């Protein structure tokens, strides 16, 4: 039997030392003033999307008719909380042209000029003063171009950038640049910062795959000392050797120098490197959310005592390891990693995020109580990872090898392999010094190409995955590699049959129990069994849940999440179902230490231009927070109670104000053992909070406003939360949309979700797949109200116990026969409070054929026990579209 694997950061050994840090130390590590000559190029750009008549790269091209823009900028705006694209939507893909006329500063002789691009999507071609100076392929990495030969110091220089995010298809330039596919939109533009960097001919290397040129690693950590090796890459573009000195210095969070080394370097023409070694006494550890302490490591290149170049980088000292049975350990202490995945877009901004938006995202994740973030599915901005360092998040950093290596059935072209490798080297070097990053992901769902509609035989993803895994270890032998698996043991998507799990040191499983998989109500048992089997199948492989979740729309609601059909890529996506899914899922994960981490998919709703679901278009609505960051959904509050270390209490269902029925279940989230509910001034009592969920069943609503107050007590602290819900008018009746997980407004009436029912099965009329592709022949019901037949309930026996007020009511049933051939011997009997109301009805014959509505109405007298409707069908199933109970 193989021994379970424990994967550790090999260069970090010894015991943890925890030293309290002040808030200022945790959040604001001191950084010496920069000596590099950096000029931001953010203002004054002109932009045009699409083809131009003349050569737009020429310095004398007339761009006066182009739009004026500032950076960061993207021409794409995707997604909205509506059911159709609005006039502000822009999912155009192709060439976007940018031009800048820049009066360059005069400089001393010998300085060299570099253009520094933080990211351009997806392919960038750059011209300076009419000369093509470089091409970069990849939407997410930083790149620098030496433009000295064509730059004109002290004069106006014309910088032209053509950004290309053309649709990936055979023959397109983007077909050789990862990612080729995925459930996110690749925005186009210069969506991160650009700067002019001026350096002497001999400097710290600015051309090292966009990296800082300074790379620090601890070779030993104990309570008494930390040994840190600092590798500095140097470049001399002059014609002769230069005798210089390299100073390596470490400063603490207060700016005090705690370690220093100085060495001579005889810098010959070309590239070279020097290694500095420093010793830090009594090291203060970077300890995650509890104490994310940061040092700063500085490399200075001096010439006769004068600093000619300097680079500052973060330094966090920590040990970590992954155990296949016990999970994740940081500085010798077990930490259950629980967090979220995050895409880099926001509603109205696309990928062109500001520092304030990055900070807002991290603040929301901290508020949630997460201690880890997965960067999905690509390299994120420098500011974002810096925020993760300061917040103490453990980061899964990911390469955009997503879904497939090829548009055909092969393993991918040489050009694509070279591009994937280059993007990985860029990512690792540019992010090497961030202590928050503890694993490099080299692929996401690369065995799922057939799930996104790819034609022909499945491509073969394994060879590229193996190559990238080797490159990651070559670039960084200390951090483990990982990947996110889609399909092992799932059986829903055709793959090439290659076994990708086990290629990397760790593995994450993207598993959507309760959402994409059959029998969603059995999600907890299914997930538990799957996790146990995966661990048994790979006993030496540390595993995580890299994605789980479900869609949630804050304007769509359900009174019973167990009764309706779960339409995972359509409508509705009730907020209550998403919350229930997470309530069922988290306890299963929390109970298993072999799951070293889990990441909810996702923190925010994000752009995906083939999604048309929930209450949105062009958005994946699985976020815990809406894409505009305005609304925290109920699952957000659940996790705040489950993950937070401070007392938490929240009444769920606040967005469902106008209630469809005269009764409701009241739910609160709390990390206290119990909570108390007062409803309309009357105390309804205490209830236990089981797995952070506190519930009061069947609470009666009066017509109009109903005020709820919930309280909980933790130690000496009492928390309180309130909500107001509007009950329906007493004479408004009750309308139930059978089979529908959510409710709807129809012809001026409110139809609630399928509720109060026992037995039968919810069914959908037309099920579609991703991108709205029909999964069967489209069907239409002949009726004045076709919306009521988008879902239905069918069965040979099912019952509704409906809380109708006492009095005489008329019950109207909307029925139909969905089967094209009908059911010749089918006969339906309906009883109302034990009295026969319909007997021996063959629905198809009464309608005159299938897919035609049959309406049957009957009076009923209701007492204090409400209305009981029993449906019994012989010779075949009965199909019910809706129930109306009216005066």
* Domain CATH number, residue 821: 2.60.120
**Residues 423, 536 within the same domain:** yes
> Average of pLDDT values for 724-745?
95
- pLDDT tens-digit map of 735-766: 999 999 999 999 899 999 999 999 999 999 99
The last residue of one of the domains, among 315, 348, 366, is 315
What region does 308 belong to: left with phi over 0, alpha with psi -120 to 50, or beta?
A: alpha
Ramachandran category for residue 778: left, alpha or beta (phi over 0 → left; psi -120 to 50 → alpha) = beta
pLDDT tens digits along 124-151: 999 999 999 999 999 999 999 999 999 9
Integer Cα distance of 311 and 316 in angstroms? 16
For position 10, what pLDDT does the model report?
36
Report the mean per-residue pLDDT for the chain: 94
> Among 198, 220, 240, which residue terminates a domain?
198
pLDDT over 80 at 717, yes or no: yes
- Looking at the fold, whether 538 and 615 belong to one and the same domain comes out as yes
Residue 26: is its pLDDT beyond 80? no
* 519-546: pLDDT as tens digits: 999 999 999 999 999 999 999 999 999 9
Apex CA 851: angle with CA 847 and CA 852, to 5°?
Answer: 35
Q: Is residue 85 located within the same domain as residue 179?
A: yes
Residues 672 and 630 in one domain: no
Q: Which 8-state DSSP code applies to residue 541?
A: S
Per the domain annotation, does 324 fall within a domain? Answer: no
Query: Which range among 408-412, 422-426, 470-474 shows the weakest confidence by mean pLDDT?
Result: 408-412
pLDDT at 34 over 70: no
What's the pLDDT score for residue 22?
32
Of 684, 711, 727, which one is at a domain's C-terminal end?
727
Residue 24 has a pLDDT of 33
Q: Examine the pLDDT at 32 and tell me if it is beyond 50.
A: no
- 790 is an active site residue: no
pLDDT band at 11 (very low <50, low <70, confident <90, very high): very low
CB 753 within 8 A of CB 742: yes
pLDDT category at 452 given cuts 50, 70, 90 is: low
Query: CA 383 → CA 359, 386, 536, distances in Å?
Result: 8, 5, 40
Do β-strands 674-679 and 682-690 pair in parallel, antiparallel, or remain unpaired? Answer: antiparallel
Any residues with CB less than 8 A from the CB of 607 and at least 6 apart, and which? 78, 79, 184, 185, 187, 343, 345, 350, 618, 619, 620, 627
Tens-place pLDDT, residues 810-820? 999 999 999 99
The answer on pLDDT for 2 being more than 80 is no
What CA–CA distance (Å, rounded) separates 665 from 579?
Answer: 14
The verdict on residue 325 lying in a domain is no
417-421, 449-453, 479-483: which range is least confident on average? 449-453
Q: Is 506 helix (H, G, I), strand (E, B) or coil?
A: coil
Strand order in the sheet with 295-303: 257-267, 242-251, 295-303, 306-315
At 6 the pLDDT is: 53
How confident is residue 453, by pLDDT bands cut at 50, 70 and 90? low
Q: How many domains does the chain have?
A: 5
With a pLDDT cut of 90, the percent of the chain lying above it is 89
Q: Is residue 21's pLDDT more than 50?
A: no
Tokens for 626? 């809406």
Q: In this structure, are 287 and 417 located in the same domain? A: no
**Does 454 have pLDDT greater than 70?**
no
Q: Is residue 320 part of a domain?
A: no
The predicted-structure confidence for 789-804, as pLDDT tens digits, reads as follows: 999 999 999 999 999 9
Spell out the long-range contacts of 332-336 with Cβ–Cβ below 8 A and sequence spacing 24 or more: 332/15, 332/16, 333/16, 334/593, 335/288, 335/371, 335/394, 336/590, 336/593, 336/597
Give a yes or no: residue 653 inside a domain: no
pLDDT beyond 70 at 30:
no
Residue 845 located in a structural domain? yes
pLDDT band at 457 (very low <50, low <70, confident <90, very high): confident
- The mean per-residue pLDDT over the stretch 146-160 comes to 98
d(CA 659, CA 654): 11
Examine the pLDDT at 721 and tell me if it is beyond 70.
yes
- Which domain covers residue 876, as residue numbers? 734-886
User: In the predicted model, is pLDDT for residue 29 greater than 50?
Assistant: no
CATH of the domain at 249: 2.60.40.10
pLDDT value of position 14: 28
The total number of residues written for the chain in this structure: 887
- Catalytic residue (one of 176, 421, 445, 583): 445
The verdict on 618 and 488 lying in the same domain is: yes
In a domain? residue 322: no
User: Domain for residue 657, yes or no?
Assistant: no
**Residue 232 above 50 pLDDT?**
yes
Among 296, 328, 301, which residue's Cα sits nearest to residue 8?
328
In angstroms, what is the C-alpha Rg of the chain? 31
Instruction: Give yes or no: residues 176 and 47 share one domain.
Output: yes
Regarding whether 155 and 94 lie in a shared domain, the answer is yes
Residue 331 banded pLDDT, cuts 50, 70, 90: very high
Task: Kindly report the number of other CB atoms within 10 A of residue 231's CB atom.
Answer: 16
Task: Evaluate if residue 35 carries a pLDDT over 80.
Answer: no
Q: For residue range 668-707, what is the model confidence (pLDDT) as tens digits? A: 999 999 999 999 999 999 999 999 999 999 999 999 999 9
CATH label of the domain that carries residue 102? 2.60.120.260
Pair (603, 527) in one structural domain: yes
315 - beta bridge partners? 295
The confidence score (pLDDT) of residue 730 equals 86
What is the rounded distance in angstroms from the CA atom of residue 727 to the CA atom of residue 604? 31
Residues 642 and 776 in one domain: no
Looking at the structure, do residues 423 and 553 belong to the same domain, yes or no? Answer: yes
CATH number at residue 560: 3.20.20.80
- State how far the Cα of 194 lies from the Cα of 805, in Å rounded to an integer: 67
* CA 146 to centroid of chain Cα atoms: 36
pLDDT digits (tens, 9 = 90+) for 818-842: 999 888 899 999 999 999 999 999 9
Q: Is the residue at 478 inside a domain?
A: yes
Give every CB contact of residue 680 below 8 A, 6+ residues apart in sequence.
Answer: 702, 706, 707
Helices (H), 476-629: 523-537, 575-590
Note the pLDDT tens digit of each residue in 490-512.
877 778 889 999 999 999 999 99
Q: How confident is the model at residue 252 (pLDDT cuts 50, 70, 90)?
A: very high
**12 pLDDT tier (thresholds 50, 70, 90):** very low
Is there a single domain that holds both residue 791 and residue 810? yes
Residue spans of beta strands (DSSP E) within 288-414: 291-292, 295-303, 306-315, 320-323, 327-330, 333-335, 337-342, 372-375, 394-398
pLDDT band, very low/low/confident/very high, at 777 (cuts 50, 70, 90)? confident
Neighbours of 273 (CB within 10 A): 14
- In this prediction, residue 770 has a pLDDT band, given cuts at 50, 70 and 90, of low
């Amino acid at each position: 039997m193989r021994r379970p694997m424990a994967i550790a950061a090999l260069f970090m050994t010894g015991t943890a030392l925890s030293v309290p840090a002040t808030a200022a130390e945790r959040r604001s590590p001191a950084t010496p003033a920069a000596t590099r000559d950096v000029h931001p190029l953010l203002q004054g750009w002109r932009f045009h999307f699409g083809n131009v008549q003349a050569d737009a790269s020429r310095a004398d091209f007339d761009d006066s008719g182009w739009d004026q823009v500032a950076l960061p900028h993207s021409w794409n705006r995707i997604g909205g909380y509506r059911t159709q694209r609005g006039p502000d939507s822009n999912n155009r893909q192709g060439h976007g042209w940018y031009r800048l006329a820049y009066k360059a500063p005069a400089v001393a002789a010998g300085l060299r000029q570099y253009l520094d691009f933080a990211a351009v999507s997806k392919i960038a071609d750059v011209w300076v003063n009419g000369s093509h100076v470089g091409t970069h392929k990849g939407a997410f990495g930083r790149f620098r171009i030496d433009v000295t030969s064509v730059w004109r110091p002290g004069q106006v220089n014309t910088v032209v950038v053509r950004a290309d995010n053309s649709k990936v298809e055979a023959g397109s330039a983007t077909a050789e640049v990862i990612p080729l596919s995925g459930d996110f939109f690749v925005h186009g533009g210069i969506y991160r910062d650009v700067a002019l960097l001026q350096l002497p001919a001999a400097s710290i290397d600015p051309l090292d795959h966009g990296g800082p040129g300074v790379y620090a690693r601890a070779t030993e950590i104990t309570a008494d000392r930390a040994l840190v090796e600092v590798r500095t890459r140097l470049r001399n573009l002059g014609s002769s050797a230069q005798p210089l000195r390299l100073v390596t210095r470490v400063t603490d969070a207060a700016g005090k120098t705690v370690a220093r080394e100085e060495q001579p370097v005889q810098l010959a023409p070309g590239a070279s490197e020097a290694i500095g070694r420093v010793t830090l006494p009594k090291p203060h550890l970077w300890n995650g959310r509890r104490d994310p302490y940061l040092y700063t490591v500085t490399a200075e290149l001096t010439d006769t005592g004068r600093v000619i170049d300097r680079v500052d980088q973060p330094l966090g000292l920590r040990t970590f390891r992954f155990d296949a049975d016990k999970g994740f350990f940081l500085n010798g202490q077990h930490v259950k990693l629980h967090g979220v995945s995050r895409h880099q877009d926001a509603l109205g901004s696309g990928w062109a995020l500001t520092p304030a938006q990055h900070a807002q995202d991290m603040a929301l994740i901290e508020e949630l109580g997460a201690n880890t973030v997965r960067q999905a599915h690509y390299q994120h901005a420098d500011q974002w990872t810096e925020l993760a360092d300061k917040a103490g998040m453990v980061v899964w950093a990911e390469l955009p090898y997503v879904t497939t290596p090829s548009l055909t059935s092969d393993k991918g072209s040489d050009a694509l392999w070279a591009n994937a490798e280059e993007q990985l080297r860029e990512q690792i070097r540019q992010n090497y010094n961030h202590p928050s990053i503890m694993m490099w992901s080299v692929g996401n769902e690369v065995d799922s190409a057939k799930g996104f509609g790819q034609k022909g035989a499945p491509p073969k993803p394994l060879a590229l995955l193996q190559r990238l895994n080797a490159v990651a270890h070559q670039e960084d032998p200390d951090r483990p590699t990982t990947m996110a698996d889609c399909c092992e043991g799932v059986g829903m998507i055709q793959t090439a049959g290659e076994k990708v799990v086990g290629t990397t040191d760790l593995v994450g499983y993207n598993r959507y129990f309760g959402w994409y998989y059959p029998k969603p109500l059995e999600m907890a048992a299914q997930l538990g069994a799957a996790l146990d089997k995966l661990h048994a199948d790979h006993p030496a492989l540390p595993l995580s849940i890299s994605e789980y979740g479900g869609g949630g729309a804050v304007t769509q609601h359900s009174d019973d999440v167990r009764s309706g059909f779960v339409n995972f890529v359509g409508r509705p996506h009730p907020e209550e179902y998403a919350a229930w899914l997470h309530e069922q899922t988290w306890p299963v994960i929390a109970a298993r230490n072999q799951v070293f981490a889990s990441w909810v998919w996702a923190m925010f709703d994000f752009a995906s231009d083939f999604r048309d679901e929930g209450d949105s278009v062009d958005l994946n609505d699985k976020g815990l927070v809406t894409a505009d960051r305005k609304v925290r959904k109920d699952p957000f509050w659940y996790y705040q109670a489950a993950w937070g270390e401070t007392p938490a209490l929240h009444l769920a269902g606040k967005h469902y104000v106008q209630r469809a029925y005269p009764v409701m279940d009241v739910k609160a989230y709390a990390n206290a053992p119990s909570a108390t509910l007062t409803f309309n001034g009357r105390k309804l009592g205490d209830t236990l909070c089981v797995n952070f969920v506190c519930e009061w069943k069947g609470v009666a609503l009066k017509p109009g406003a109903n005020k709820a107050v919930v309280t909980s007590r933790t130690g000496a602290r009492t928390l309180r939360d309130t909500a107001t819900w509007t009950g329906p008018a007493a004479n408004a009746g009750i309308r139930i949309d059978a089979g529908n997980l959510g409710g709807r407004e129809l012809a001026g009436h409110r139809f609630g979700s399928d509720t109060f029912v026992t037995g039968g099965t919810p069914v959908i009329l037309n099920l579609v797949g991703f991108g709205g592709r029909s999964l069967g022949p489209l069907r239409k019901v002949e009726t004045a109200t076709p919306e009521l037949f988008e879902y239905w309930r069918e069965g040979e026996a099912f019952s509704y116990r409906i809380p109708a007020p006492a009095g005489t009511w008329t019950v109207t049933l909307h029925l139909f026969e969905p089967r094209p051939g009908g059911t010749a011997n089918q006969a339906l009997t309906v009883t109302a409070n034990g009295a026969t109301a319909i007997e021996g009805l063959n629905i198809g014959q009464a309608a005159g054929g299938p897919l035609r509505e049959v309406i049957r109405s009957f009076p009923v007298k209701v007492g204090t026990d409400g209305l009981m409707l029993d449906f019994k069908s012989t010779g075949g199933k009965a199909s019910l579209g809706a129930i109306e109970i009216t005066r």
